[in-house]
Structure 1
Amino acid sequence: MNFTYSEKVEYLQKEIQDFMERYVYPNEQTYKEQLNNQGGRFSSIPPIMEELKKKAREKGLWNLFLPESDLGSGLTNLEYAPLCEIMGRSAIAPEVFNCNAPDTGNMEVLVRYGSEEHKKRWLKPLLEGEIRSAFCMTEPDIASSDATNIQADIREDGNEYIINGRKWWSSGAGDPRCEILIFMGKTNPDAPKHEQQSIILVPMNTPGIQVERMLPVFGYDDAPHGHAEITFENVRVPKENILLGEGKGFAIAQGRLGPGRIHHCMRTIGAAERALEILCERVDSRVTFGKTLAEQGVIQEWIADSRIEIEQARLLVLKAADMMDKVGNKVAKKEIAMIKVVAPNIALKVLDRAIQALGAAGVSEDFPLANSFAGIRTLRLADGPDEVHRRSIARLELKEQRTKRKQEVL
């Protein structure tokens, strides 16, 4: 493995870092103020976001993901990792560069499985940053850590499918620009376990869709995109909106979640890096009991442990990204699962230390730490909880070890 960045990546790193310093960080507070001062937090978009998006696009810092498509910037997963990490330092940055979840994953689904009409109607405006999307998989009435539990019904009726069900934590569905939902449900409950589910495209304005409420995360509403609970009652969509055919939903979802998981991890490392910077700056400037906090032994341990853990997590992310590029997401599934467990847990440790070092300021809105902690804590659940990933890692490890022993006997 060679993790030396190419000249192209180093150039993009510098450009994104410069853009963050000049435009993103100085406008984080502006974004909050504009969001709070408008009529409804889910009814309009802070104007500063569109201004920043325009600037990013003019500088060519746009759609940097999509490693297997000429619609992106031509970067591999390994090349994208350090760039995504920088974006993860700010809650508003991913959207500025049109590299924000869930749109990135949904665009990848449309690139791989959408028809030409789907791409024209939804992929193109998503790539342009003109509309938003949501992924409707999780349900409130079942244990969604096992996607085969999904009960939402997709039933064929002539040239249409009729959809009934309730979804929640559909991130992005609260955004007034959200125009397309990627919906997962069952088309055949009698098929083999992993072939019962299908994925279908559902326009947001289809009759029968009702956003019941927006779900806050530890009190944060994540407006304007938010996380919606949605009911679908006799929602009719054309038959051609089903992706890849009936029974392919589970496979599509797993393919979508692989890159999404590692993108989350890349951004999470960026958030941890920013937290460590805030910690170090603070402890250098605060004096307690005749010493700066930086001179206290326990603080030095926090700093050392944080640096060690961040470096370990970054290396594992790079390894997973490298494997995805070389052998594909399926072969790299153990590495993807490992980093999905490691990155959020390490970031939470670093954030917790930073919050403790800042005292009361750490839990305030004057610093990004509390917001980051709330968002990253959800990552231990989103895209599969830690326990499911650990189970997968253990099973894959046992399989590899058993195969190794058999080969040694032969």
Structure 2
Amino acid sequence: MTEPTAPARAEIVVDLDAVRHNVALLRRHVAPAAFMAVVKADGYGHGMVEVARAAREAGADWLGVATLDEARALRTAGDRGRLLCWLAVPGERYDDLVAADVDVSAYSVAQLEEVAAAGDRVGRAARVQLKIDTGLARGGATPADWSGLVAAARGHERAGRVRVTGLWSHLVASDDPDHPANAAQEAVFAEALAVAEEAGLEPEVRHLANSAAALLRPAARHDLVRCGLAVYGLDPAPGHTARLLPDLGLVPAMTVQGRLAMVKEVAAGSSVSYGHAWVADRDTTLGLVPVGYAEGVPRAASPGAEVWVAGRRRPLRGRICMDQLMVDLDGDRPAAGEPFVLLGPGSSGEPTAQEWAEAVGTISYEVVTRVGGRLVRRHVGGSVDGAGAR
């Protein structure tokens, strides 16, 4: 006899219908630009392979990842569409990615040579996208080095070693649409495109805009936009998107939920959790939520964050522990095993990833990508309804 499956102690539920909805909505918004769904960092904590499939089903023209291993994982999972990866260190091997028709980025002449050599070994021209640093001071060639990189790439292209498929950069402050860095970077990028055109490069795509710029700066869209956070239904420019696009309609895809491990009474004057950082000012009840910082819940979130239990938001009490945290039930007595929602879409009143981010003084990107640990992830929506251990 098969034992019945017990409800999860705590889990991440990812709604792939929400992902499909968001991708379709964003594609319409940015048309005629092509659309890239960025699925790096395990799909921003949502599951890279599952999100990638949902994004493709909704019409994503490209997928974007950071590392070479992420690109390998997508090809192993069966994805055969246009795919860009952009982060490598000297000495990493590109051979299998070139053979698998993956676009890889080059930031320098030395890196370009490594990619071209991989193409030589596998007997095909490598698909390469050149990145220029327009002001982020992170990856990409500086404007001073750009002409040299472009010339080297054109030389390799003439020799049949590479095909330059894209030119791109990344914005500093797209979440603040009025920041002067946006216009300054757009100008630098335009100059870089002119240098490349003069050298004879004819890329398939030119791209600068991430989620916030794709939504709020039409001039930055060029041939392709790279949407990450917005794919997952989260606002990439809090305070600006709602003002400028109040009816956009993104749907958050992640819910973190589970069941209370215990409910207990505490008397006024009782101290709670490590260091006795909180003392009850009245008789109350506490709920034991069986997740902690080992699951990626920020320890700094108490006080300030809340958890949805028994139809209400409940404030955290005391310090968050490695495996558990306490919430104030204000005298209510739900049974042990009562469902809780740590974060979700907010449509039923539960806290959102953005609210957790504000409680900690960070961004929602960090909240959703950090959550995990011992949590089980379950995907729902459309033809998918399954669970898998992290």
TM-score normalised to structure 2 length: 0.31
Determine which structure has the larger strand proportion and give its number. Answer: 2
Determine which structure has the larger helix proportion and give its number. Answer: 1
For the pair shown, the structure with the greater C-alpha radius of gyration is 2
